[in-house]
Amino acid sequence: MTRVYLDNAATTPLDKEVMKTMLDVMENNFGNPSSIHAHGREVRTIVERARKSIANLLNTAPANIFFTSGGTEADNTAIRRSVQDLGIKHIITSPLEHHAVLHTAEMLGKYHDIKISHVNIDAKGNIDYNHLEELLAANSNTLVSLMHANNEIGTLTDIERVGELCEQYEAIFHCDTVQTIGHYKHDLSKLKVHFIACSAHKIHGPKGSGFIYVNPKVKINPMIYGGAQERNMRGGTENIYGIAGLAKALSIAYENMDEHHQHIQTLKDYMKKRLMEEIEGVTFNGETAADKSLYTVLNVCFPEMDMADMLLFNLDISGVSASGGSACSSGTNIGSHVLTAIGSSPDKPSVRFSFSKNNTKEEIDYVVTKVKEIYKS
């Protein structure tokens, strides 16, 4: 049976060149990078070359990149250390953030008496920048935690504008860039941000590997104690294979970024057009214009139907892998907090289709045909 994978915002298939890089390290470099003998030094070199490669792509110093287990750890580190080390008493975020941000902020509000403010958003998921400025002006010792692109609906935030506002009001800015690292260029020498997050498996790298960028203007303590790894910032023996794979994946993403952007944007636009032609009453959650939306994500709101809650199941039976919201919460009966926040009708089934460089126009035609068959049955 034909199977089409359109859930790349959840995870991406491992790139073959990334796999080769990781296998080479697995086969030939087993030393502990903290050891001072030759075997250890060889592996330490791999880690530091990866750090330098990533830093060069982001236009920052290698000393500002710290390897983590992924985006969730990076987000937690940024938010929790800001409160515990930087004197933060107020967190501004949005109701659309990933739970790695929202749940961390909620915990800090509950146990550390931190004030939490949610910036207003519109029905497309856009940030109200005037309201953000009002919140910044009314509060001191503030951390702003806003994602670059929403993982469910794709709406982009103007993080340059947010950074300027944070600088104006002397606030700390943390940006969850998990969905955009490797898809857009981030010049950290110019972007006014204190923390960003990356997860390798969103860019055809391995699961369990990522990094946090920490602006040298802020000084934080370790999130994980127990060793001197990552320059005393994260205890624990480094995930060498994951780090090597992460660096290779990001390198490939940057080398081919324009080509992949154009290819994926064409697929997204084509699918949107085909769905509007074939399914009467179909609409889209979030922004879909190319300059306002993450090009890898299309969140489709389908017309009401009998057994709407079975749409994803029927797509899966037809060989189509997609999701109804954030895959990080799959397996629960809780609806999407993002779709709820933007007022999407709970009576209409919504499906997030997310694309990668591997998808084809023929696959889009197949998916649209299967959706049409489901609505006719």
Point out the domain boundary residue: 231, 255, 279.
255
Please provide residue 197's backbone torsions phi and psi, each rounded to the nearest 5 degrees. Answer: -125, 150
Measured over the CA atoms of residue 96, residue 99, residue 101 and residue 104, the dihedral's sign is positive
Q: How far apart are the first and last CA of the chain?
A: 20
* 8 A C-beta contact, residue 325 and residue 352: yes
Are residues 96 and 137 both part of a single domain? yes
Same domain, 43 and 30: yes
Is 328 known to be catalytic? yes
Contact 190, 174 (CB under 8 A): no
For residue 220, name the pLDDT band (cuts at 50, 70, 90).
very high
Q: How large is the average pLDDT for residues 79-106? A: 98
Tell which of 219, 237, 255 closes a domain: 255
Q: Beta partners for 214?
A: 195
Distance, in Å, from the CA atom of 214 to the CA atom of 220, rounded to the nearest integer, reads 9
**Percentage, residues of the chain above pLDDT 70:** 97
pLDDT at residue 331, rounded to an integer: 45
Which of 166, 175, 198, 328 is catalytic? The answer is 328
184 shares a domain with 155: yes
248 and 338 housed in the same domain: no
Q: What SS3 string covers the chain?
A: CCCEECECCCCCCCCHHHHHHHHHHHHHCCCCCCCCCHHHHHHHHHHHHHHHHHHHHHCCCHHHEEEECCHHHHHHHHHHHHHHHCCCCEEEECCCCCHHHHHHHHHHHHHCCCEEEECCECCCCCECHHHHHHHHHHCCCEEEECCCECCCCCEECCHHHHHHHHHHCCCEEEECCCCCECCECCCCCCCCCCEEEEEHHHCCCCCCCEEEEECCCCCCCCCECCCCHHHHCECCCCCHHHHHHHHHHHHHHHHCHHHHHHHHHHHHHHHHHHHHHHCCCCEEECCCCCCCECCCEEEEECCCCCCHHHHHHHHHHCCEECECCCHHHCCCCCCCHHHHHCCCCCCCCEEEEECCCCCCHHHHHHHHHHHHHHHHC
pLDDT value at 329 more than 70: no
Domain that holds residue 326: 4-13+257-376
Q: What is the CATH number of the domain that holds 303?
A: 3.90.1150.10
Mean pLDDT of the chain: 95
- pLDDT tens-digit series, residues 188-211: 999 999 999 999 999 999 999 999
pLDDT in tens, 264-320: 999 999 999 999 999 999 999 999 999 999 999 999 999 987 766 788 999 999 999
Number of domains in the chain: 2
Q: 68 and 101: one domain? A: yes
pLDDT band at 335 (very low <50, low <70, confident <90, very high): confident
Query: Of 329, 325, 372, 330, which is closest to residue 344 (Cα–Cα)?
Result: 325
Q: Do 201 and 267 belong together in one domain?
A: no
* Residues 116 and 156 reside in one and the same domain: yes
340 and 359 fall within a common domain: yes
Residues 320, 296 share a domain: yes
The pLDDT, as a whole number, for residue 325 is: 58
The pLDDT of residue 267 is 98
Name which of 35-49, 130-144, 336-350 the model is least confident about.
336-350
* pLDDT above 70: residue 148: yes
Q: What residue type is assigned to position 367 of the chain?
A: V
Give the pLDDT confidence score for residue 194 in this predicted structure.
98
CA-to-CA distance for 161 and 167, rounded, in angstroms? 10
What proportion of the chain, given as a percentage, has pLDDT over 90? 91
Q: Both 285 and 186 in a single domain?
A: no
Give φ, ψ of 58 to 5 degrees.
-95, 0
Cα atoms found within 13 Å of the Cα of residue 363, Cβ hemisphere only = 21
* Mean pLDDT (whole number) for 245-255: 98
Verify that 60 and 142 share a domain, yes or no: yes
**Predicted pLDDT of residue 326:** 47
Q: Is beta strand 210-214 parallel, antiparallel or unpaired with respect to 65-68?
A: antiparallel
**Confidence band (pLDDT; 50, 70, 90) for 328?**
low
What integer pLDDT is reported at residue 1 of this predicted model? Answer: 74
Residue range 358-370: average pLDDT? 97
CATH number of the domain that residue 175 is part of: 3.40.640.10
Asked if residue 71 and residue 83 are part of one domain, the reply reads: yes
Domain boundary among 227, 255, 283: 255
